[in-house]
Structure 1
Amino acid sequence: MEYGILSIVPPVVAILLALFTKQVFLSLILGIFSGCLILTGGQFFAALNMTLEEVVAIFSEAWITKTIIFSFLVGGLITVISASGGVQGFINYLTKKKKLIKNKRGALFLAYVIGLVIFIESSITSLVAGTVARPLTDKYNVSREKLAYVCDSTSAPVCALIPLNGWGAMLMGVIGVQITNGVVNGSAANLLIRSIPFQFYSIIAILAVAYYIITENDWGPMKKAEKRAAERGLVLREGATPMVAEEATATPPKEGVKPNKWNMILPLLVLIAMMPVGLYLTGEGNLLQGSGSTSVFWAVITAVSFAGFLYVWGKIMTLKEYIDYVYQGIGAIVPVAILLISAFTIGNVISDLQTGEFMASLVAGRVNGSFGPAIVFLLAAVMAFATGTSWGTFGIMMPIGIQMAVAMGAPLTITIGAVISGGIMGDHCSPISDTTIISSMASASDHIDHVNTQLPYALLNGLMALILYLLAGIIV
């Protein structure tokens, strides 16, 4: 059944309520309910029951369940690393011993470099960058909104630009289907690699982060947030709700423990190293064919286990203390997990309503080939904003974009780059995006404050990318 214009009601309800009420969970639930109301033909009690059933049903998706468990375990890992004195030891090393981090610019650059270097998986990139840099950015009165922006605007873009990860596997998969179906010829890997120079938004986003760190020329809501933090020392807005409980994210070292940077570095190295190992094993020898969700799942379990062995064997804490700290961290992640569950659920409801297909139908067959990449970029951005998922957008828009490019005679590799860039841009702007939620979690920022401060930057970057797609479509 086609729902037409009604298919965009759930995302519109969720997004508007989130922006106006600042209650993300309530907004997502009401968005889910409105979608179920449409799916059940306006039957209130049937829609209420369906809402509950949809929440339960997401756990049938293995990758979603793994992502949620991953979030819980990362919370435990963050807390136990902090309690071991690892974070404090790393801060002391950078600020006192080596004196590498001397100001807010240096603290933000640390998060930026981590975001560029760890291109294995966007969630890991954000979480590691935020966890490591947050104590330093707090020390130099950097707003949590600015840290969240750095984490968010480096994670997904760099994962798309260096596709030796789950992102690459997913993108090659959706491109490969079009090759198998005879829509286009060639190799999925070759087409993806050739599209990298045309992922304009991703490239601009990464360069923009460096520009704002170096120049400190912030504007809009971000400027107000930075001014508040600099003048009043309030890294969080008064009344703001950090995505992770402060008692977990700022866990002091266990009494009597000597701060040691290796207590943080070693578990994180295990976390990062296990990701390509997981991709290699799940891809049966091919990193690009591996399962991203499974690899992330294995990586965090291995890192948590290694940390326990390291701390208990090194007599930093007893086994009971280690377990207690892990439980404390898991407990702090419960609000984040609830939001992720809600975000995934509304994504499924939107899929049932065929929101993406309806939006794509608005322009299919109605545009000139030279404008194809720009139109595809805009459509992917709007779709990702409305659905809250870049990967979901890739799954819907890549086939549509490739088929539109072939039908209109638009440049294929530019169109593929436009789909990827549009998906990431819309995801950066959306308050119901799971990756935006994770970036808020990584920086312990108020989620809506993160969305409000990042949105103007993402829109400006998107405008520049749109202009480049218009020019590229005409010139190439």
Structure 2
Amino acid sequence: MTVHAVEFASLLPPLLAIGLAIYSRRVYLSLAAGIWLGWTIAASWNPFAGLARAIDACIAVLGVADNARVLVFTLLIGSLVAVVEANGGVRGFVHWAEGRSWIRGRRSAQLLAWVVGLALFIESNISILVTGSVCRPLFDRFHVSRQKLAYLVDSTCAPVCILVPFNAWGAYVLGLLGGLGVDRPVAVFAEALPLNFYALGALALAALSAGMGLDWGPMGRAERAAAERAPHGAQGGAGPVDATDPVREAGPGVPAAAPSGDRELAAVLGEAGGTGEARVAGGTGDGTAAAAAEPRALDMLLPIGVMVATMPVGMLVTGHGHLIQGSGSTSVLWAVLAGLVAAWIVSLARGRLSADRVGEASLEGAGKLVGMAFILLLALALGQVTRVLGTGQYVAGVVVGRVPPPVLLPLLFAVSGTISFSTGSSWGTFAIMLPVAVPMATGLGAPVAPFLAAVLSGGIFGDHCSPISDTTIIASLASACDHIEHVRTQLPYALTVAGVAMVGFASVGAWLML
């Protein structure tokens, strides 16, 4: 086989992963197939030797300390979310927010939805559920459409989560960067933040829409109908949907359950639906559901606050006084452990949960993110084999002088958006595209941050538009909005921001190649 043929073959593993992901919508299968093909190529096209080496490569991922820390963190964040749900913190926060007297009209109710979604950056699905629960009665009271609520919660959850390094999303991306050999992944992540045009644009447009009433297209019609009629009459025929009802059948166009396996997070609704509090705290029959104390917002805010405060401390300690040089994986692990311990203490001290229930909730929450940890492991293994084959260097050599520089970053954005839309998984998209984008940047001698931002933006954009995305489905359910109505009314906003992002990435690409 010629050298050129070998170099071209290095493209096949990521191409197989991308193509299979789009065709099958199964991220596990796609990543595993890409890993196997990559090691088969490395083993002179011996499929059996390739399989053996692929298994060894996946196991070797666990031998890297940074990788192991991120995998453990991924499980622990599930524990933290489950305990906070079980101790009533989510319900307490909902009651607290509903009791605020400074919500006086349509725009203030919409801005509350935006602010709450922005504040709950710990995890996307809990952000959606809490925001939907808090704001549904307010939107009904002020005759704001449920379509608008679904758009606002969907436009704050994933975009804000991808901009924060000390949550599951941030740790996942940091883990991918570390596995790809990126020096100082936290610094690269920080450099990519102002370039994450889609996430920033989605948040900005949602704020403008809420505060200034910028409604057009299908959303404008839904808002006019909601203002003229009773709130439940403007739901596209779906009628009211209780997002906390675990047995209600989905309305027209609403999937009864999110597609399994390949989504980026196990839905907080659980396998059958319903809130985590009902599932974890109230379903055991051990008497702990009727807690000794009323739930408070502090039961949720205190653990989250401890986690957020611990993150920069960990960065300073691991960076020996230099925040930006700290270990992201270590600091995130410390932060979520501190938050989890705080949640345990709050739950036990206030008599909200027994010690047994705290342990059970922690294990249940961790179990729900085992699938996500497995995706991360496969993603790291795919990144390893693409480095062995020199995929990024080959792609960089091909595109230099052939693809116009201003087109390169928009192309990454568009491809990532297509994969995410087709699979419904932004996390799976990151796992597939970053092993291509990062080596491409290094091969071109360009900074990694713009390439990272293009992939992250594309993943969020596709996820935002996809009718099979978990976050989109849960946003519909939590807002009691017909699912297809939500997708249809949100799409013009998403496409508007995507157009701005394309221009932004083209401008950055042109500037990089000067």
Same fold (TM over 0.5): yes
Deviation at 1:343, TM superposition (A): 2.7
1:308 aligns with 2:340: no
Q: Percent of counterpart pairs with the same letter?
A: 25
Partner AA of 2:115 in structure 1: L
TM-score by length of 1: 0.70
Query: Which residue matches 1:233?
Result: 241
Query: Which residue matches 1:182?
Result: none
Partner deviation per Cα, 1:113-140 (whole Å, 9 max, x = no partner): 227xx6xxxxx46477457436447877
Deviation at 1:255, TM superposition (A): 1.8
1:341 aligns with 2:341: no
Residue among 421, 428, 448 paired with 2:453? 421
1:323 aligns with 2:359: yes
Query: Which residue matches 1:255?
Result: 289
1:150 aligns with 2:156: yes
CA contact (8 A) 2:125 2:268 kept: no
Separation (CA, whole Å) in 1 of partners of 2:104 and 2:362 = 29
1:94 aligns with 2:97: yes
1:8 aligns with 2:17: no
Q: Secondary structure at the match of 1:344?
A: helix
| Count of matched residue positions in the alignment of Structure 1 and Structure 2 | 428
Separation (CA, whole Å) in 1 of partners of 2:157 and 2:372 = 17
1:51 aligns with 2:77: no
Deviation at 1:326, TM superposition (A): 0.9
Change (3 A) 1:419 1:12: closer
1:31 aligns with 2:34: yes
Partner AA of 2:45 in structure 1: G
Q: Secondary structure at the match of 1:60?
A: coil
Q: Secondary structure at the match of 2:289?
A: coil
Deviation at 1:30, TM superposition (A): 2.3
Change (3 A) 1:272 1:150: same
Partner deviation per Cα, 1:332-360 (whole Å, 9 max, x = no partner): 22222222222332232333332222221
Partner AA of 1:114 in structure 2: A
Deviation at 1:70, TM superposition (A): 1.0
TM-score by length of 2: 0.66
Residue among 439, 450, 456 paired with 1:396? 439
Separation (CA, whole Å) in 1 of partners of 2:150 and 2:52 = 38
Query: Which residue matches 2:68?
Result: 65
C-alpha RMSD of the superposition: 4.9
Separation (CA, whole Å) in 1 of partners of 2:476 and 2:70 = 19
Q: How does 1:342-381 map to 2 (within 5 A)?
A: 342-366=378-402, 372-376=405-409, 378=411
Partner AA of 1:388 in structure 2: A
Change (3 A) 1:399 1:82: same
Partner AA of 1:32 in structure 2: I
Residue among 110, 116, 119 paired with 1:114? 119
Separation (CA, whole Å) in 1 of partners of 2:386 and 2:151 = 29
CA contact (8 A) 1:249 1:444 kept: no
Q: How does 1:157-196 map to 2 (within 5 A)?
A: 157=163
Partner AA of 2:289 in structure 1: E
Partner deviation per Cα, 1:124-167 (whole Å, 9 max, x = no partner): 4647745743644787767989745532223334669xxx9999
Change (3 A) 1:69 1:464: same
Partner deviation per Cα, 1:312-341 (whole Å, 9 max, x = no partner): 122222222211211121222222222222
**Larger deviation: 67-76 or 311-320?**
311-320
Change (3 A) 1:240 1:41: farther
Deviation at 1:456, TM superposition (A): 9.0
Partner AA of 1:207 in structure 2: A
Deviation at 1:373, TM superposition (A): 4.8
Change (3 A) 1:106 1:211: closer
Deviation at 1:239, TM superposition (A): 4.2
